[in-house]
Every structure is written in C-alpha cells, then in structure tokens.
Amino acid sequence: MGEVLQLRVPAIKLGHDDVILVPRETNTEAARAVLARPSLHTENMMRAACIWLRDNSDWIDQERARHVLKMLDRQKIEDASWAREKREMYIIGLFAAICLIGIAIFDAAWGAHLAAGVAR
C-alpha cells in the first residue's frame, strides 16, 4: 500500500474531525480534489493538500500549490491585521465613552453648583 497522506476533514454529523488515509497513488488526486473545491474544506485541509502537491507532484501542481499557500498566508496576515484594528477601535470607543460619562458627571455637578448659587 505504501505511504499514506493523513488528511483531516470536518465530520459535521459526528462533531469532530475524521482522519482519512488514502494510498500514495491516490494522494495526488485527493489533493487536487481538495484544491478544486476550496469552499468545502478547512484551511488545514487546504494546507495539507498544498504541501503534498508541492513536494510530490509535477511542476504545474507545484506552482498552483505554492500560489495557494501564499494566498492562505496572506489571508492569515490580513485577518490578524483586521483583529488588531478592531481591538484598537474598541479601545478608542471605550476611552470616548469614559470621557463622555466624565463630561456628563461634571456638567451635572456644575449645574447643581450654579443652581445652588442662584438659590442664595
């Protein structure tokens, strides 16, 4: 049977990942099938397929696998950047809310002070 490629695919019914073992001869076909329908597979499954094709296939599949890996890495960087921006916006919003509450308290206290002065 030879070497096997261990690919993980989501098993929705079972609620966990199943391990699929396929013979070495069909690994390339399995990896090509994963890349043909990327919306059906997880990022880890895509990475496993790309690494297999990059290391064990002809140059066309190798170039495609390198391209997909670059795109996955770029997407991961963009996701991290967006998370950082979201966190910064949250901190700025929290600071603005605290400032507005402080201004409202000061305004109420100043109004009460002025009202007390007018009443005398």
pLDDT for 13 beyond 50: no
- How much is the pLDDT for 119? 65
Q: What is the residue whose two structure tokens read 């261990």?
A: 6
Model confidence pLDDT, tens digit, residues 48-71: 888 888 887 788 888 888 888 888
Q: Mean pLDDT check: name the lowest of 26-35, 64-73, 100-109.
A: 26-35
Torsion angle, alpha carbons of 40, 44, 47, 53, to 10: -70
Domain extent listing, the chain: 4-75
- With 0.75 as the threshold, say if the pTM is over it: no
- Residue 34 buriedness (CB in 10 A; 0-12 / 13-18 / 19+): buried
Assign 117 a pLDDT band (cuts: 50, 70, 90): confident
How open is the CA angle 56-61-67, to the nearest 5 degrees?
115
pLDDT for 104 beyond 90: yes
DSSP 80-116: HHHHHHHHHHHHHHHHHHHHHHHHHHHHHHHHHHHHH
Cα torsion angle, 78, 80, 73, 15, sign: negative
pLDDT for 105 beyond 90: yes
